[in-house]
Amino acid sequence: MPDPTAAMLVIGDEILSGRTRDSNMHHLAGELTRVGIDLQEVRVVPDRHERIRAAVTALSAGHDHLFTSGGIGPTHDDITADAVAEAMGASIGVRADARALLEAHYAKSDQVLNEARLRMARIPQGAELIDNPVSAAPGFTLGNVHVMAGVPAIFQAMVASVLPRLTGGTPVISRTLRVERPEGDVAGPLGETAAAYPDLSFGSYPFIRNGVFGTNLVVRGQDADRLAGGVAALARALPEAVEE
Amino acid sequence: MPDPTAAMLVIGDEILSGRTRDSNMHHLAGELTRVGIDLQEVRVVPDRHERIRAAVTALSAGHDHLFTSGGIGPTHDDITADAVAEAMGASIGVRADARALLEAHYAKSDQVLNEARLRMARIPQGAELIDNPVSAAPGFTLGNVHVMAGVPAIFQAMVASVLPRLTGGTPVISRTLRVERPEGDVAGPLGETAAAYPDLSFGSYPFIRNGVFGTNLVVRGQDADRLAGGVAALARALPEAVEE
């Protein structure tokens, strides 16, 4: 059975304007690889209802899972929940279970559950809540869409609580050979080895370090023995390569 | 006249697997903001011909410019040029001008222009070359698609050589007020101020620092006087806010 597939949607003007450097994509990519879910596409869109709705519609239809990041806070530009609800054909309003979570949280602090914060209890009907151990306001799973916060600490906590619910695949394992030669020198032997092992993936990632052009060769696969065979063949073709 | 719009396409399995943390998106976003080009969407896709071709077709049609990053090196997984050529209906082959650049570069080094490296001279007919001051292999502009390398140092150099060719817009300027109160406390005054200044954009970016929940409020606009008015109104509504 092929591995489950996933897409990610990052929502926020601040990423597209260059004000904020997104880190959630890199975090999610690593976690999905670890559990054997194949991340096939990421999109970044602004805080605009129609752009979010259209992206959710397209990406949730094309993948087993869609993970979103951002736009579920208390301010006027937090519109993700409504856009996801519309894309998935669900109704949305303040839900008692989410409201209770917020009430319990604010009762313990000197903050009040005002009208703005109550916005964070707007959850689509039929969605399952995702725990937020940092600031209480929950994310949610609606159909195959997992809606999470943009603040990295909260995003990471939500990913940690969602992933164990999902059926993973066979984790992809990888091994890296590093060679201090430019990519153009290794492309020939690399391509020949890749052609001989069509069930493995051979990636070539050039780098420049201390003025030296080098290449990291990453071999990926799901079977450790087969991977070992591909790595050994590549090492024979490029004797100066060293395993990272 | 509205500002020119842009999209970006990041190409590479290594980003989607979590092996590599992309930095080109953040760099391009900041540079486009500086010259008044509105980055409206970013997509990340794997090294697969059909995924690249489909994304180029969609994003180049929907925006004034499309910038791509990655997949133009000498190895078997470098397939961006061919996918872009197909998407744009152009033929592609080794071009004399690109080959001459590579010949001149390798003549100065102890490296040879082998078959793998010659792949980097495959440039669509009608495309304009983009200079690569780091390792010679050029990028190219075909129609409204600007194809650049994934290695950050080369990507940045290519962006620097492409942007002066393009017609920019009115740069968006921004000012940031920082308040050491959680987003839920400032959402009300923020939303009211935003409603009063519909020509400005008011963004709210929560942070957690040393255990304190705070919010950065970013006001953006194209007219400095109008922006000053919006910032002053926000500061009156939130007297404890300080300008960053």
Nearest to B183 among A32, A74, A187 (CB): A74
List helix spans (H) across A163-238.
Answer: 183-196, 224-237
Give burial (CB, 10 Å; 0-12/13-18/19+) of A236: exposed
Q: Is the pLDDT reported for residue A15 higher than 90?
A: yes
pLDDT of residue A217: 95
Q: Is the pLDDT reported for residue B56 higher than 90?
A: yes
Q: Spell out a b/e string for A205-215, using b for 16 or more CB atoms within 10 Å of the CB, else e.
A: bbbeeeeebbb
Average pLDDT, chain B: 94
pLDDT of residue A1: 67
Quote the percentage of chain A above a pLDDT of 90.
86
**C-alpha to C-alpha distances, B198 to A102, A217, B191, nearest whole angstrom:** 31, 51, 11
Q: Does A21 touch chain B (CB under 8 A)?
A: yes
Where do the domains of chain A lie? 5-165, 173-243
Q: Does A33 touch chain B (CB under 8 A)?
A: yes
In angstroms, the CA A8 to CA A144 distance is 12
* Beta partners for residue A204, in sequence order: A217
Average pLDDT for residues A18-46, to the nearest whole number? 96
Q: Is the pLDDT reported for residue A109 higher than 90?
A: no
SS (H, E, C) A49-101: HHHHHHHHHHHHHHCCEEEEECCCCCCCCCCHHHHHHHHHCCCEEECHHHHHH
SS3 A163: helix
In angstroms, the CA A93 to CA A115 distance is 13
Q: Is the pLDDT reported for residue B241 higher than 80?
A: yes
- What the block records as the tokens of B225 is 């006087």
In angstroms, the CA B110 to CA A57 distance is 53
Q: Is the pLDDT reported for residue B225 higher than 70?
A: yes
DSSP state of A121: G
Q: What are phi and psi of A128, to 5 degrees?
A: -100, 135
Q: Does A14 touch chain B (CB under 8 A)?
A: yes
Q: What are phi and psi of A38, to 5 degrees?
A: -90, 105
Task: Work out the minimum CA distance from B91 to partner chain A, whole angstroms.
Answer: 24
pLDDT of residue A207: 84
Q: Which residues of B touch A43 (CB under 8 A)?
A: 41-44
Helix H or strand E segment including A208: strand A201-209
Q: What is the pLDDT of residues B4-47, one digit of tens each?
A: 999 999 999 999 999 999 999 999 999 999 999 999 999 999 99
CB-CB under 8 Å, A17 with B22: no
CB-CB under 8 Å, A42 with B201: no
- What the block records as the tokens of A241 is 């390569």
- What the block records as the tokens of A126 is 């039929």
Place of tokens 């619910």: A165
- What the block records as the tokens of A75 is 């301010």
In angstroms, the CA A225 to CA A227 distance is 5
SS3 B17: coil
pLDDT of residue A162: 95
* Beta partners for residue B212, in sequence order: B209
CB-CB under 8 Å, A73 with B202: no
Mutate to test the interface with A, among B19, B69, B119 (most CBs of A within 10 A): B19
**CATH fold of the domain at B173-243:** Alpha-Beta Plaits (3.30.70)
Task: Work out the minimum CA distance from A101 to partner chain B, whole angstroms.
Answer: 15
- What the block records as the tokens of B241 is 């806010």
CB atoms near residue A244 (< 10 Å): 10
Q: Does B45 touch chain A (CB under 8 A)?
A: yes
Reported confidence tier of residue B140, pLDDT bands at 50, 70, 90: very high
Q: What is the pLDDT of residues A132-185, one digit of tens each?
A: 998 899 999 999 999 999 999 999 999 999 999 998 888 889 999 999 999 999
CB-CB under 8 Å, B21 with A22: no
Reported confidence tier of residue B148, pLDDT bands at 50, 70, 90: very high
Q: What is the pLDDT of residues A54-96, one digit of tens each?
A: 999 999 999 999 999 999 999 999 999 999 999 999 999 999 9
SS3 A222: coil
In angstroms, the CA B91 to CA B101 distance is 20
Radius of gyration of chain A (CA): 22
Nearest CA in chain B to A175: B19
Domains A5-165 and A173-243 share a fold: no
First to last CA, chain B: 31
Quote the percentage of chain B above a pLDDT of 70.
100
Nearest CA in chain B to A13: B203
Q: Which residues of B touch A51 (CB under 8 A)?
A: 40-41
Q: What is the pLDDT of residues A180-239, one digit of tens each?
A: 999 999 999 999 999 999 999 999 988 888 888 899 999 999 999 999 999 999 999 999
In angstroms, the CA B242 to CA B229 distance is 16
Q: Does A222 touch chain B (CB under 8 A)?
A: no
- For residue B158, give the nearest of B176, B140, B177, B184 by alpha carbon: B140
Q: Are A164 and B93 in contact (CB under 8 A)?
A: no
β pairing state of B5-11 and B38-45: parallel
CB-CB under 8 Å, A25 with B202: no
Q: What are phi and psi of B80, to 5 degrees?
A: -65, -45
- What the block records as the tokens of B3 is 């500002």
Looking at domain B5-165, its CATH architecture is 3-Layer(aba) Sandwich (3.40)
One-letter amino acid for residue A92 of the chain: I
pLDDT of residue B169: 85
Reported confidence tier of residue B197, pLDDT bands at 50, 70, 90: very high
Within the 118-177 window of chain B, which residues sit less than 8 Å (CB to CB) from chain A? 119-120, 134-135, 151, 153, 172, 174
In angstroms, the CA B24 to CA B68 distance is 10
DSSP state of B9: E
CB-CB under 8 Å, A18 with B31: yes
pLDDT of residue B168: 84
pLDDT of residue B1: 67
CB-CB under 8 Å, A220 with B17: yes
Average pLDDT, chain A: 94
Mutate to test the interface with B, among A8, A26, A76, A134 (most CBs of B within 10 A): A76
Task: Work out the minimum CA distance from A42 to partner chain B, whole angstroms.
Answer: 5
CB-CB under 8 Å, B174 with A208: no
SS3 A124: strand
pLDDT: which is higher, A13 or A208: A13
CB-CB under 8 Å, B74 with A187: yes
CB-CB under 8 Å, A18 with B32: yes
* Beta partners for residue A142, in sequence order: A145
Q: Which residues of B touch A205 (CB under 8 A)?
A: 14, 19-20
In angstroms, the CA B242 to CA B85 distance is 51
